[in-house]
Structure 1
Amino acid sequence: MKTTTVQREYFLDSIRAWLMLLGIPFHISLIYSSHHWHVNSVAPSWWLTLFNDFIHAFRMQVFFVISGYFSYMLFLRYSRPKWWKVRVERVGIPMLTAIPLLTLPQFIMLQYVKGQADKWHTLSGYEKYNTLAWELISHLWFLLVLVVLTSIGLILFKNISGGIASGRVRWLQNITLGKLSIIFFFLGLVYALIRRTLFIVYSPILSDGLFNFIVMQTLFYAPFFILGALAFKHQNLKQLFILPSRGCTLGAAVAFAAYLANQRYGSGDAWMYETEYVITMVLGLWMVNVVFSLGYRVLNFQSARVTYFVNASLFIYLVHHPLTLFYGAYITPHITSNTLGFISGLVFVIGIALVLYEIHLRIPLLRFLFSGKPQNKRPDAVAQSK
């Protein structure tokens, strides 16, 4: 077994938790945005649409960089079989737990909310499978992608370690944000061409839920996952992200403006989606610098309260989605103000999620199922925060 130990990166823990918890305002604002969702308010709000677009444009790219960073850190600590087992258990068990306990009841509720419960028997076998793939995986898709990336990581991380040992990756010693931007721009183009080719050859495959999650999402986020692993090993690469860059900040602002323009003026029958992926590929890279440098300055400290939310973030994210849809279906129609509805939704969802988190902490089986690791007692952070 490997025994590599490193200093705790508190700011990365905090950023990861904040990115997870941003899923709550993201989905609540989706109710009040101009984007079509499971449930929507009567009239959309322009500022909540803008807020929703901003979160959506970069959040998961930065999240997967952090996931790759910590995944490679653990790869150096454990033997390969144990590393794969630990990583898959910690993301796979919560995903499998959430499907019957959260997304299945959520799907049943939505069938009645949308008035489609009586139409289920009219669907073909494939339509039923594909509907269940989209609806049961739902907001858990990133956990499935992490399982895939972890499995691929057995080979990728081995090659990274081998390249480091043999000196084949010396080019990273002279890497700059400009060079990385060019690399990620071309990666975005390659992804766009793959998607367009699939669209031309056999477009229905892009509507298949499992194919979308396992193949397309994995292909898009793999560069960020690998970037995180490289940043762990190469301090000069990590320094590029924790030192503020005016170019990245300005570039991210311009890229977000381009993202908004594409959303408004692009056509789904043309190249709108391909253009979006190129934009969000480079925008995600630049936002890694913006988020990491800001987090390094203001979040790089240990705190019992912060640790509490770091520990709670995954559970809260898992349960927030059905709570948000319940709020949107049954409470939103009774609140005329979109802003008031958004704020009330945050209070409703976060409040109930925290109560459920505290309840689950007191039940060992639920603690295991929602964390993927056995716990004989409640986390120390919980006791310290009280």
Structure 2
Amino acid sequence: MNTVPSNNTRLDYLDAVRAFALLLGIVFHASLSFLPVYIGWAVMDISTSEVVGVFALISHSFRMELFFLVAGFFSHMSYHRKGAANFLKSRVLRIAVPFVVGWILLRPLLVSGWIMGMQSLRGEVSIWPALGEGFASLLGDYQAPFTGTHLWFLYYLLIITVGLLCCRTLVTRHEPLYRMCVARVDAVLMRWCRSPMAIFAVAIPTTGCLWFMGQWGMDTPDKSLAPHWPVAIIYGACFTSGWLMHRQVDALHRFSQLRWYKALMAVIAIIAAVVLSPYESQSGHPQATVLKLAFQFSYAVMMWSLVAITIGIFRRFLDRPNKTVRYLADASYWLYLLHLPLVIWLQIAFAEVALHWSVKLALITGITLGLSLLAYDLLVRSTWLGRVLNGQRKPRLLSAARFNRPALH
């Protein structure tokens, strides 16, 4: 049964899911300086923990997949509300423009953060020279423009959206073929979402893609504009699933139903991935191939089960209007765009401070969110920039509180 929601209906729980995926990414990046092994991050803190490694493994396995699935859902909604031409115009305005402008503004700050991080290992940090080198790198970067930031996800969102629309255009040229494809896809989608074995079924091709990653688990494709095809296929599958589930919202509901076997599946997959992950550094192990395959399959099951469970939890508890959730959902895109330079600079500032890693992680995350939310409310929410990022201008929370008028509608 096709139960496409009204275009005027705001799905609060999916707004919250999208915000959660982006905010989880902020915590993920804030945690990387506390890993017990050096991974090439800007700085390594004096307080580290194995717990951070487990958190990073689990959160990295599903946060972007979750984001792309919800992005596909809302993209299909926007496409049918606005039409093809206006939809493409909105994608350029809300995705391509932030990608290009964000790279120009943020990459020098990120490069300077890496420079200062290396300096901090020697016990000295020179802020202004590092900033100068950061901006110089922007002017001299002709070989890999628009790379080297956390904004790669916008680039892949553009690629996947354009690819999906091209495929749709080709199929719709022949009306009988289009109707046949739609009917079959809808039927398969509903059968897949009903099956208790659905996650295992989709984990198998996902494992095949994971096998071609540069590391065990998902790669971060931020080094080149040449598409990393295994990554693009996985995120494309998530986006396409969300796109199709907007046509069949019952499929989304069935996929995200909270069931004991999904929780058990997730727990077993998480334990297996955590236990197997140390073998990545043991390439000479006699069973290296089997161990890698077992890890990749566990990782794939962990990925899809956590995506389904997260949507189910938010649907269970946040499927109603909530002013705070809506505000954070509106702000989350800006928060994610802005956060990484703040996170890295704060990690450098706290790296040598004699505090427990959990306290420093909380401080770094809290200060980053606080400053970013303040900037959002004062400079973004009610301005033209808020219209670009959120689709419309909205009243500020601080000014509304000051003049005793409602902030959120």
2:314 pairs, out of 295, 300, 312, with 295
- TM-score when normalising by structure 2: 0.78
User: Is it true that 1:378 corresponds to 2:394 in the alignment?
Assistant: yes
Q: Of Structure 1 and Structure 2, which has the larger fraction of its residues in helix?
A: 1
Deviation at 1:323, TM superposition (A): 0.5
2:377 pairs, out of 358, 374, 385, with 358
Matched residue SS, 1:167: helix
2:360 pairs, out of 318, 326, 341, with 341
RMSD, aligned CA: 3.4
2:224 pairs, out of 180, 201, 210, with 210
Q: Is the 8 A contact 2:146 2:225 kept in 1?
A: no
1:86 pairs, out of 90, 94, 97, with 90
Task: Give the structure 2 partner of residue 191 of structure 1.
Answer: 209
Q: Is the 8 A contact 1:139 1:321 kept in 2?
A: yes
Which AA in structure 1 matches 2:183?
G
Task: Give the structure 1 partner of residue 335 of structure 2.
Answer: 316
Q: Is the 8 A contact 2:381 2:395 kept in 1?
A: no
Change (3 A) 1:350 1:194: closer
For 1:157 and 1:333, the matched residues in 2 are separated by 54
1:29 pairs, out of 24, 28, 31, with 31
Task: Give the structure 1 partner of residue 253 of structure 2.
Answer: 239
Structure 1 residues 326-372: Cα deviation after superposition (integer angstroms, max 9, x where no partner): 01112332243212211221222112112221232277354356x17
Change (3 A) 1:149 1:352: same
Which AA in structure 2 matches 1:74?
S
Aligned residues: 366
Task: Give the structure 2 partner of residue 108 of structure 1.
Answer: 112
For 1:315 and 1:233, the matched residues in 2 are separated by 28
Q: Is the 8 A contact 2:42 2:113 kept in 1?
A: no
Change (3 A) 1:362 1:223: closer
For 1:267 and 1:177, the matched residues in 2 are separated by 36
1:41 pairs, out of 42, 45, 54, with 45
Task: Give the structure 1 partner of residue 279 of structure 2.
Answer: 265
For 1:64 and 1:151, the matched residues in 2 are separated by 14
User: Is it true that 1:147 corresponds to 2:164 in the alignment?
Assistant: no
Change (3 A) 1:361 1:207: closer
- TM-score when normalising by structure 1: 0.82
Q: Is the 8 A contact 1:195 1:274 kept in 2?
A: no
For 1:305 and 1:367, the matched residues in 2 are separated by 17
For 2:96 and 2:206, the matched residues in 1 are separated by 28
Change (3 A) 1:179 1:353: same
For 1:164 and 1:78, the matched residues in 2 are separated by 25
Q: Is the 8 A contact 1:192 1:275 kept in 2?
A: no
2:191 pairs, out of 174, 181, 186, with 174
Deviation at 1:134, TM superposition (A): 4.5
Deviation at 1:235, TM superposition (A): 3.3
Deviation at 1:379, TM superposition (A): 4.2
For 2:91 and 2:282, the matched residues in 1 are separated by 37
Which AA in structure 1 matches 2:26?
I
Matched residue SS, 1:41: coil
**What are the ranges of 5 or more consecutive residues in structure 1 without an aligned counterpart?**
200-205
Change (3 A) 1:287 1:345: same
For 1:25 and 1:324, the matched residues in 2 are separated by 9
For 1:177 and 1:329, the matched residues in 2 are separated by 48
> How high is the sequence identity, in percent, across the aligned residues?
22
For 2:310 and 2:295, the matched residues in 1 are separated by 21
Deviation at 1:119, TM superposition (A): 10
Deviation at 1:380, TM superposition (A): 7.4
Deviation at 1:182, TM superposition (A): 3.9
Q: Is the 8 A contact 1:335 1:341 kept in 2?
A: no
User: Is it true that 1:95 corresponds to 2:99 in the alignment?
Assistant: yes
User: Is it true that 1:229 corresponds to 2:236 in the alignment?
Assistant: no
Q: Is the 8 A contact 1:58 1:287 kept in 2?
A: yes
Deviation at 1:225, TM superposition (A): 1.0
Q: Is the 8 A contact 1:305 1:385 kept in 2?
A: no
For 1:166 and 1:337, the matched residues in 2 are separated by 55
